Every structure is written in C-alpha cells, then in structure tokens.
A and B are shown apart, each in its own frame.
Chain A
Amino acid sequence: MAIAEASASGHGEFEQSRFRAIRGPAGLVMGYVATILVLVTLNFFLPRALPGEPLEALSNPRSPTFIGDQERRLAVEQYYGLDRPAGEQFLAYLAGLMRGDLGKSIRYNVPVSTLIAERLPWTLLLGGTALTAGTMGGVVAGIRSGWRRGRDGDRLLLPLFVALDSVPMFVVASVIISLFAVQLGWFPLSGARTPFSDAWPPWRQALDIGHHLLLPAGLLAVQFSAFQFLVMRASMIGELGSDYIRLGRAKGMTDRILKYRYAARNALLPTVSVVGLQAGLAVSATIFVEAVFAYPGLGRLMVEAIASRDYPAIQGVFLIVTVMVLTANLAADLAYRRLDVRTRR
C-alpha cells in the first residue's frame, strides 16, 4: 500500500504546489489554507450528509446510539444545533472553531479540546521517536540495499521490508506483546507509565516512560522504516546508472564516496518529498499501535470514541490530526524547495 501511495505522489517527481496557479512558497501556503478550509467544511457536512442520520439518532430513543443522560444529550444537541437553519449551524460551527470549542465528549463529559490537550503529548512522544528512529533506519538500510541491488543483503532485506510494509501492524503488535510482555515479561503490557508513578523522582519517571515507550515505538519505527526503506532504495536505484556516477568512478573515487556523496545525496531529495506522505501513514499506524498497547494518545482516544459513537470526540480528533498532517506536508514541501538546488534560483 505504501508503494502505491508513494507512486501516487510521484516519488522521484515532485508536486511543487497544490495551488499550481501560483508558484513558489506563496502558492504552497495558499494551497494549504485552501485545503484546511475544505477540511473544515467537510468536517461540518459529513455527519449531516451521510445516510443513516447519525446525529439525529443521538436524540432518538429507539436508536442504539441514543444518549440516555439528559444533560449530555442536551449538550450535544446544543453543539450540533440541528434545529437551526443550515447556514446558522455552519457559522456557529466556525465561530466555535475559532474559540477552540470542539464540543463536549459524550463519553467523558468534558470538552473535547481538553481531552485532546491531555492526549496529544503522548502521541507526539510516541510518533516522534518512532518517526525519527524509523526514518533513519530505513534511509540507511535503503541506501545500502539500493547500492547493492539484487546482491548480498538486498536479497534478504527487500522481501523482508515488503512484508513488513504490507502486514498490518496490529497483528504483529499482538504477537510481540504476547511474546515480550506476557511470556517474557520484559516490557509492560500497556499504558504510557506505571500508575501513580508521578510521585517518583524525575529520572525514575523518565526511565519508566521510556520503558513503556520502547515496545510501541519500536514497532512503529519498524513500520516507518519499511516504507522509508522502499522509497530510498528505489530512489538509489534510480541514480545508479547516471552519468555523474560513472564519471565519479573514472575520477577514481572509492565506492564509499560514490555511494554517499554521489548517489545518496541525490537520492535523498525524493525522500524528503514523501516525508509529508509519511506523516499521513504515521497517523494511521499510530492509531493502531496505540489501540493495541492502550497507549493514552490521540489514537486511543479515537478508538474509544468510536466504540461509544462519541461523535464530537471523533470529529475533534479527526480535525486536529488532519491539521497536523497537513502542516507536516507543508513543512516538507517548503523544505524541499530549499533543498533542491535545481529549483533554487
């Protein structure tokens, strides 16, 4: 799947600006803003447009999603404002967004924004470490594999990483948990820290968090590295037959120099452009891993919200997560423009 998506964004080619009418960073930012607007609108319309009238069902005593508790039901009805005309609803929604009001969670009865603020740091910790480790590992492995295409380690690594890329992580996660956490007992089963550990000295807390982090982050890192490996490898292979590498060899440069200073430096560019894509995939993977490990991040929140049809929470997480991914995309696009000397004028 990763391969297909990578091809779509054209790894190797680069989609400069989503808003192609205007070139340059301005165009990129405008495209970004436009997409956010579409997103916000989409978020508004989907619950109201999809078949099954999910929002109305919340107030319908006969529906399985009926909210028994009156106070909560009223809060939700207030937030969605279904009795008001559509235009008014939309404006109220936008006004709420400006204020940071994402509604109140049906399940937890606290503002969604509060929930998100609680959970976001954990997701960032998990995703951040995994992304860093996975990208580095994948890039390094990809460079070596691409250089030695079809020989030595590549013959092992390629099928391995293809398998890792396509296998659902939550399956692997369950196996890993039962092996390392249950059977061997080396790692905790779930959570981000031991309960009541906030009373411990800071260094011990840090260690504890790290201990809990290792398994989920490791798994995520493996998934990220698989994707990054495939992209980097393909990029390296693309450089292999180039004229400048042949001339480098004629100049008497060693294999090591040719591999890194010549091929890898050029092959690295396309991988930057897919970092944005990587962020999207990161989100998906993180949701699953958090679910399996019961890690208290946004992903877990999403899964909990689904179980209880907690629409405000689902929508809130969707919005925040998507905005984060779009921002990462924008950052990657802007960084690419600076890095690619060809477009630097």
Chain B
Amino acid sequence: MSAPILEVNDLHVRFANGVDALRGVSFALDRGEALAVIGESGAGKSTLAHSVLGLIQPPEASGSVVVAGSAMLGATDQRLRAVRWSVVSLVPQASAFNPVVPIGDQIAEPLIEHAGMSAAAARSRTNELAEEVLMDPSLLGRYPEQLSGGERRVALLAMALALDPALVVLDEPTSGVDPIGRVALLERIATLSRSRGFALLIVSHDLPAAAQLGARCMVLYAGEAMESGDRHAVIHQPAHPYSRALISAYPVMTTTRDLRPIRGSPPDPRAIPPGCPFHPRCTQAEDICRNQRPVLEPSRDRLVACHFGGVRVLLAASEISKSFRTAGRTVRALDAVSLTVEHGEAVAIVGRSGSGKSTLARVISGHLHPDAGRLVLGDPVLGRTSASPGELRRQVQLVMQDPWDALSPRLTVAELAREPLDIAASKNAEQRRQAVAEMLNAVGLPTSGGFLSAHSHELSGGQLQRIVLARALLAEPTMLVADEPTSMLDPSEQARLLVVLRELQVEKGLALVLISHDISLVRKVSDRIVVLESGQLVEEGRAEQVSGSPRSEAARLLVDAAPMLEHPGGDPRPPSAPGGRWTR
C-alpha cells in the first residue's frame, strides 16, 4: 500500500487581517482517489486549495501539508518548485492567465521550463494536451481575452495536466460555466482522472459537481470539517445538521420541496463563536455545543464533528397501536405504526380519510394515549423512558383542522393569543403583551387595537388559523404537528398559511409533522412523506420519491387523484426518475 499522495494535518490558516480561514483541517488522499471538499463561500475552500500548492506559508499557515512525501509548509523555493506542477497542479477558479501571452505558450511554459523540452516539442505536446481535453486547437494561438469563460476553463485544465501530475486540485471547476458545458467538463475530468490515474481534490460549492467527481466528500464550515465520508452517505443521508441544511438548501431537479434557507448567517471569519461554529444556527444546539468544540469522530459510518454524532432524533414513536370501540365495533385506527422525526425535519403524513392520520397526530402530540407502543422524546440513544403525555403536549404543539373549533368565540384575539402565556404564568403582563405582538407580527397579522379586540366571528379562516399557529408557537414547542391545517381555507389563504408555517419552522428551528390528504401540497413543504392506509404504514421515503414514483398502491392512488391544472399539450408532471443526477 503506497503512501498517500496528500496528507494534511491540523492545518490552520490565519491571515494578517485576523481572518481565520482554516481552523484545524486534517485528511489524507490516496493515489488515484478523489475527494470533494464542499462548503459555502468563506468556508475556507480556496484557502485549502492554495495551501496544498504551498502558496500559503508560515506564519499565516501552520500544521503540515505533505505532497508525495514533500512538506509544503516552510519549504524552500527550490523544493517547492520541484514539486509544483510536476507532482501537484491547480486549476484555479479565476481565469488566471497572463493577459499578454498566447494560451498555447502558457500551456507549453511548464514543459519548457520544467521538463526542458524544446519549443517545437513543447508545441506538439501542447497540441496533444488540447486534444485530450477536447479543446479546439485553433484557440492555442489566441490571447486569453479572446476566449470565452468556458474555453478558458478547459485551457486551464490542459495546462494543469501538462506535466502529468499525480494530484490535480480543482478550485470551483464549474463556476462561470454554463449548465451544458458543465456536464461535458465534468465528464472530461472524470475520464481523464481514470485514464491517467491522478488523484483529484475538488473544492466547490457546487454540490452535484463535487458529488459527481469525488468518491469521498468532506463538508467544510467556518474553516472546519463538519462531516466527511463516502459520497453517497454524506449527500443522500447527511448526518451533520449543517450538511443536512446545506443539501436541503440546494436547488436541484430532484427535490420538489421549495428552497429552505439556513437560518442565521455564516459567522464573521474574524470572530468565530466558541464551541461548535455552527451552534448559533443549529436547531438542536445545547449548552455543550456552545462551550466545547466537537471533534471529527466516527459516527454512522462516516466522520462527523458533532457532540451528538449528527442530527438527533426528536421523536421516536415505535409500534403505536390504537383502537376505538364504537357501537359495538372495534376499529383499528393504528396498527403498529413507527415513526421517527428528527430535529428540524419536516415530515408529511398522507393517506385517505380514515387511514389513521389524525389519530396518529393526536397520539404523538400527547392528546391521545396509545394502546401499545412507545413514544420517546429526545435521543433514544440516551435511553430516555417513554415521554409522559403532559411532556408531549407541551413539547409538541398541535394545530388542528378547524380553527373555529380551536378558538373560543367568546375571547378576543389578544386573549386568545395570550392564553398559553396566561396558563404558564411565567411572564408579567407587559412581557406577555410584547410576546403576543411579536408573534402576531411573525405570522403576518396586524397588531392594532382594533384587531386585538376582535372576536373570532369577525375574522376569516386563514386569519384564525394563523392565530392558532401563533398560540402554538408561543408555547415554545420543539415540534409542531399540523393536522390538515389548510383544508378549510381558501386557496390564497392556504398559500399564505403554508408560507408562514415554513418560514417559522426554519426561523425557530422546529420539527414539523404535516398531515394531509393532498400530496401535491405537502411535497412542497416536507422532506419525507409517510403514507398510511387503514391504520398501517405502507410507504415511507423522500418527498420527491414518494410523490414522483410511488411504490405502494395507496400512494399511487393519492398521486393520481391529486388535482392538476390542465395544460394544453399533455401531462405537465415531470417523468418519474428514480434517484436523480447525484447518484450516477
């Protein structure tokens, strides 16, 4: 087993202006292997790419970077020149060509300077290189200005391969390339990597590109690695809260859910918070996250830097069964249904009327006691016992279908909204008034005196439902269960409520269980869909999979029955494609 081509150990980079670009990154790359480093801007990706080439030196950089046995940090210029380009090369993000020298000459430059080739030999080799990367050879005589962005990118690739290096570092290889060119470029790189056998280090915020090229993925945030493992694991079943949020936020053809931004904003690289750098934005942060930095450790068959080993399960319902007796008959509403909901997740429960959805909703929110089964709130690994109904009711707030029913007609809006605070009696009158005003604002309702003293019969269904939502949130739950919250509302009010629901979910970091018979609605809000039929769980999976290519009969019926606006020219529904571009 030969030594790794690249070994990075505890790499720290701090720039003169106080910016902490990298805070202790370690990884190794074997010959011929490919690693994709994913992260958003400011995460330290480009810094990492440059460090591998030794372009960042002490005192700014500390730790160790070893390429094919040569230490890059603190090496002499001569040593660096011996390694650069012949062992490791770079395809930079920006078009970094010398403006006054033709492209061909620049590709040939390392051949002449390093390999000592004659001008003629270098020229013919350059032509060969151009062919290999499928570049139009007539471009070689032109100046960088005269090439398009995509052509320059390909030329940079040819240049990087000139000396047949063992490691190629790609910094944002797809930035500025049009979507069609992107596909071609990625395929070229992958093919060349296989045929020439060089290792790849890709650094990018383009998740699908990184996933396509890198067999391993590492997620970088605020200069640290949050998660690292096999590509399929990291991208399709992300463990770290940040990875999960990042992948959720990425627009691809394969998700139907609307974009969900990550709440909060990335930390100022000059003032990264203590403890876990992601904790201010994490939906499951606790005290330990604020105080202690997590270490990248094995968890769920990959490496994760999280005190909890990744996203935690919030609610675990196992083998829930419930029967009702009416008029001598026994109806089995729920038959050994198991459901887990993770922190910050949105799960939809769909099924026909009578499939047991509402029953399940009541059970998991503590309003109904199951005949059998366990309900655990919190991480089952921690070994908590079954949660008490009281605990459930507080932590899991239920928003029901009928707002007129949920709100007393005798109370004013202000009194209705204040009710959970009045019951808890934890704040004084002024604080309660303040909290109510803020929450009404958050759900998009006015806070004027006139509105606050209105009664329920004066308001629309949508407004009432939002008051219900506001109340639920004032109770500060960790999870919301919404049972057909929009079925009694007009379409525009439906839209409004869902938008508010989604925003608040992200904002407050709540988990959401949305119950509905309308699959076209829920797939815009949820990550996962669970299908119930006659009290049994018949299908479960990612929203796009269940709604796009349902496997169970029940789901198929629901999908077929889902309302559509007729389009001239046939079915506008996208063809069901199993998986998606990421799994090639």
Option from A249, A253, A265 in Cβ contact (under 8 Å) with B109 = A253
By beta carbon, the residue of chain A nearest B49 is A250
Encoded as 1 (CB less than 8 Å from any A CB) or 0, chain B from 101 to 131 comes to 1000000011001100000000000000000
Q: Is residue A342 within 8 Å, beta carbon to beta carbon, of the partner chain?
A: yes
Contact check, B99 vs A250: say whether CB atoms are below 8 A apart.
no
Instruction: Report, as a range, how many residues of chain B touch the other chain.
Output: 20 to 34
Contact A243 B113 (CB under 8 A): no
Is A23 in the interface zone, CB < 8 Å from B?
A: no
B80 at the A interface (CB under 8 A): yes
Do residues B96 and A244 form an inter-chain contact, with CB atoms below 8 A? yes
Taking A249-B55, A251-B110 as contacts, is the C-beta distance between A244 and B99 under 8 angstroms?
Answer: yes
Nearest-Cβ distance from residue A289 to partner chain B, whole angstroms: 36
A250 touches B98 (CB 8 A): no
A246 within 8 Å of B (CB atoms): yes
Q: Mark A310-324, 1 if CB is under 8 A from B, else 0.
A: 000000000000000
B90 touches A (CB below 8 Å): yes
Contact residues, A246-301 vs B (CB, 8 A): 246-255, 257, 261-262, 265-266, 269
Whether B85 sits at the interface, judged by CB under 8 Å, is yes
Are A266's CB and B98's CB within 8 A?
yes
Quick one: closest A residue to B82, CB to CB?
Answer: A252
Q: Do the beta carbons of A341 and B99 come within 8 Å of each other?
A: yes
Interface string of B83-107 (1 = CB under 8 A from A): 1111001101011111111000000
Which residues on the A side are within 8 Å of B84 (C-beta)?
249-252
The minimal Cβ–Cβ distance linking A143 to chain B, given in whole angstroms, is 15
Chain B residues with CB under 8 Å of A246's CB are 50, 55, 92, 96
Name the residue on A nearest B90 (C-beta).
A250
Alpha-carbon distance A261/B89, docked complex (angstroms): 20
Chain B residues with Cβ below 8 Å from A266 are 98-100
A252 touches B110 (CB 8 A): yes
Contact A341 B96 (CB under 8 A): no
Of the residues A262, A269, A342, contact of B145 by C-beta under 8 Å:
A342
Give the interface centre of B84, B85, B100 by most chain A CB atoms within 10 Å: B100
Report the nearest A residue to B110, measured CB to CB. A251
Q: By the criterion CB–CB under 8 Å, are A250 and B53 in contact?
A: yes
| Inter-subunit contact B92/A262 (CB<8 Å) | no
Closest residue of chain A to B93, judged by CB?
Answer: A243
What is the distance, in angstroms, from A344's C-beta to the closest C-beta of chain B? 8
Residue of A nearest to B97 (CB): A244
Min Cβ gap A67→B in Å is 59
Task: Across the interface, name the chain B residue whose C-beta is closest to A249.
Answer: B55
Name the interface residues of B46-91: CB closer than 8 Å to any CB of A.
Answer: 50, 53, 55, 77, 80-86, 89-90
Contacts of B55 in A (CB 8 A): 246, 249-250
A323–B110 Cα distance when bound, in Å, is: 48
- What is the chain B residue whose CB lies nearest that of A269? B100
What 0/1 readout, one digit per residue, does chain A (192-234) give for beta carbons within 8 Å of chain B? 0000000000000000000000000000000000000000000
- Report B380 CB to chain A, min CB distance, Å: 50
Instruction: Let me know if A262 and B98 touch, CB within 8 A.
Output: yes
In the complex where A251-B109, A252-B85 touch, is A261 in contact with B98 (Cβ < 8 A)? yes
Say if the beta carbon of B308 comes within 8 Å of chain A. no
- What sequence of 0s and 1s flags, for each residue 134-145 of chain B, a beta carbon within 8 Å of any chain A beta carbon? 000000000101
Q: Roughly how many angstroms separate A247 CA and B89 CA in the complex, as a whole number?
A: 10
Q: From residue B484, how far is it (CB to closest CB) to chain A in Å?
A: 56
- With a CB–CB cut-off of 8 A, which chain B residues contact A251? 84-85, 89, 109-110, 159
A residues 311-345 near B (Cβ < 8 Å) are: 341-342
Interface 0/1 of B169-200, CB less than 8 Å to A:
00000000000000000000000000000000
| Nearest A-chain residue to B94, judged by Cβ | A243
Which among B83, B90, B101, B143 is the interface contact of A247 at CB below 8 angstroms?
Answer: B90
Which of the residues B50, B80, B143, B159 comes within 8 Å of A341, measured between beta carbons? Answer: B143
Q: A244, A249, A254 — which one has the most chain B CB atoms within 10 A of its CB? A: A244
Question: In whole Å, how far is B384's beta carbon from the nearest beta carbon of chain A?
Answer: 54
List, in ascending order, chain A residues with CB within 8 A of B113's CB: 252-254, 257
Say whether B98 contacts A244, CB under 8 Å: yes
Chain B 184-231 interface residues, beta-carbon cutoff 8 Å to A: none
Complex Cα spacing A341 to B102, Å: 10
User: A68–B150 Cα gap in the complex (Å)?
Assistant: 80
Least distance between B366 CB and chain A CB atoms (Å): 60
The residue in chain A whose Cβ has the minimal distance to the Cβ of B53 is A250
Within 8 A of B (CB), among A92-107: none
CB of B47 to closest CB in A, whole Å: 13
CA distance A342 to B110 in the complex (A): 24
B-side contacts of A247, CB under 8 Å: 90, 92, 96-97
Shortest Cβ distance from A70 into chain B, in angstroms? 65
Q: How far is the CB of A16 from chain B (nearest CB, A)?
A: 16
Tell me the bound Cα distance from A244 to B109 in angstroms: 13
Write the chain A residue with the least CB distance to B145.
Answer: A342
Smallest CB separation, A290 vs chain B (Å): 38
Q: Note all chain B residues with C-beta closer than 8 A to A257.
A: 113
Do A252 and B86 have beta carbons less than 8 Å apart? yes
- A263–chain B nearest beta-carbon distance, Å: 9
Chain B positions 512-527 with a Cβ under 8 Å from a chain A Cβ = none
Contact A250 B85 (CB under 8 A): yes
Most buried by A among B95, B96, B109: B96
Please, how many angstroms separate the alpha-carbon atoms of A342 and B143 in the complex? 8
Q: Give the residue among A246, A247, A257, A342 with the most B Cβ atoms within 10 A.
A: A247
Specify the chain A residue showing the minimal Cβ separation from B86: A252
B94 in contact with A248 (CB, 8 Å): no
Choose one: A242, A248, A252; the contact of B114 (CB below 8 Å): A252
CB distance from A148 to the nearest CB of B (A): 15
CB-CB under 8 A from A269, the residues of chain B are: 100
- Residue among A243, A248, A252, A266 with the most chain B CB within 10 A? A252
Bound CA span A252–B99, Å: 18
- Report the bound CA distance from A317 to B556 in whole Å: 97
Q: Which residues of A approach B to under 8 Å, CB–CB?
A: 242-244, 246-255, 257, 261-262, 265-266, 269, 341-342
12 chain-A/chain-B pairs, Cβ below 8 angstroms = A243-B96, A244-B96, A248-B98, A249-B55, A251-B159, A252-B84, A252-B85, A252-B86, A254-B113, A265-B101, A341-B99, A342-B99
What 10 A-B pairs are tightest by C-beta distance, nearest first?
A252-B84, A247-B96, A243-B96, A252-B81, A244-B96, A243-B94, A250-B53, A252-B85, A341-B143, A244-B98
**Apart from A246-B50, A246-B55, A269-B100, what are 5 other A-B pairs with CB-CB below 8 Å?**
A242-B96, A250-B50, A253-B113, A341-B143, A341-B145
